[in-house]
Amino acid sequence: MHYKTTYHSPLGKMTLASDGQNLTGLWIDGQKHAESTLGRRIEEKSDLAIFKQTKNWLERYFRGARPAIAELPLAPAGGAFRQAVWKILREIPYGQVITYGEIAKQIAREKGLAKMSAQAVGQAVGHNPISVIIPCHRVVGANGNLTGYAGGIHLKIRLLAHEGITMDNFFIPRQGTAR
């Protein structure tokens, strides 16, 4: 059984999901792949402890605090490769960014591979089921390319600016350009 509730953030309505103990999803209204990892049995239940913890975490984050990701028990559903990518996302410091290529190189090193596809990393980042908390907004393309945010580039820019990242070195690519 999965449970869900909503939270009204400065970015708009968010849906939070849980298995009863862990946070399994957090999607901004209109986000691609929203709720795709939930099963068929979903019950609205706003009084779960994990939802209260998550809302408190989000309130502090949006007020400008830097709550630790480790404060929340997270259980995003995904295969081993996606889990490896999401683990790296959790390690990106507040107010900093990393490229898809840098993540690919890190995974290649960890797996003893000559190289890893940045595009494959982009797919995993784009399917992150716990937006904002697992900070996929902190991943950018090569040379400052602001691409690949399931909630929309406008929200990625708002989140990066919220964290104090200046937009001077970033750009939005024309439609159809690669990462």
What residues are labeled active site?
A: 136
Question: Cα–Cα distances in Å, from 137 out to 130, 146, 151?
Answer: 11, 9, 9
Q: Do 77 and 36 contact (CB within 8 A), yes or no?
A: no
* CB count in 10 Å sphere of residue 118: 19
CA dihedral sign of residues 167, 168, 174, 178: negative
DSSP three-state, residue 132: coil
Name the maximum alpha-carbon separation found in the chain: 48
